[in-house]
């Protein structure tokens, strides 16, 4: 006979311990569970945890290490659902260091836009759109960094070739008169 015991506290709503300020981001990172690095995207980040999305994520309770460039944070997968996972860090991280990207104010614009929407205010006007030459140059730069990365695999090499072709197509279009 199966007996179910409900304690009074089990029926109470659980407090939201995520009171830390979260930075809404879209950062590429790797999540290492055991010896296997998995590509993930960090969708939001606080000093104590992160929301990740990815194709293959470890189960709740797994010990993991989140890597982004030279930065790493050990933690525990708190939950997983529908290609998303919540990771609780073992130690507090410096969010600014994780989102910092020299010469790239994009993260600040995302945070400002989200903050404006939460205050029910208009989203600040973005900077003027970059020229096709600038887009092509940035794509070239990304391709070069990816091609030189020790983490580059054959699986992604084909995608890298597609990015390079797009950069060339943009460069050709930018040479045309407006």
- The 10s digit of each residue's pLDDT in 7-47 is 333 434 344 455 457 888 888 889 999 887 888 999 999 99
User: 66-86, pLDDT tens digit by residue?
Assistant: 998 888 999 999 999 999 999
Q: For the whole model, what pTM was predicted?
A: 0.51
Burial label for 65, CB within 10 Å (0-12, 13-18, 19+), is middle
How far is the C-alpha of 64 from the C-alpha of 37, rounded, in Å?
10
Specify whether the CB–CB gap between 87 and 68 falls below 8 A: no
Specify whether the CB–CB gap between 29 and 68 falls below 8 A: yes
């Amino acid at each position: 006979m199966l007996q179910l015991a409900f304690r009074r506290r089990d029926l109470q709503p659980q407090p939201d311990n995520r009171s830390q300020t979260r930075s809404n981001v879209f950062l590429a990172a790797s999540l290492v569970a055991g010896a296997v690095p998995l590509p993930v995207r960090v969708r939001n980040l606080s000093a104590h945890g992160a929301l990740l999305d990815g194709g293959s994520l470890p189960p709740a309770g797994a010990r993991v290490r989140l890597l982004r460039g030279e930065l790493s944070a050990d933690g525990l997968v708190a939950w997983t659902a529908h290609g998303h996972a919540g990771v609780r860090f073992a130690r507090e991280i410096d969010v600014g260091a994780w989102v910092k990207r020299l010469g790239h104010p994009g993260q600040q614009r995302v945070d400002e836009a989200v903050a404006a929407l939460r205050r029910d205010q208009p989203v600040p006007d973005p900077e003027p759109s970059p020229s096709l030459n600038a887009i092509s140059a940035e794509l070239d730069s990304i391709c070069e960094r990816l091609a030189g990365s020790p983490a580059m695999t054959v699986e992604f090499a084909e995608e890298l070739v597609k990015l390079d072709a797009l950069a060339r197509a943009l460069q050709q279009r930018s040479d045309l008169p407006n």
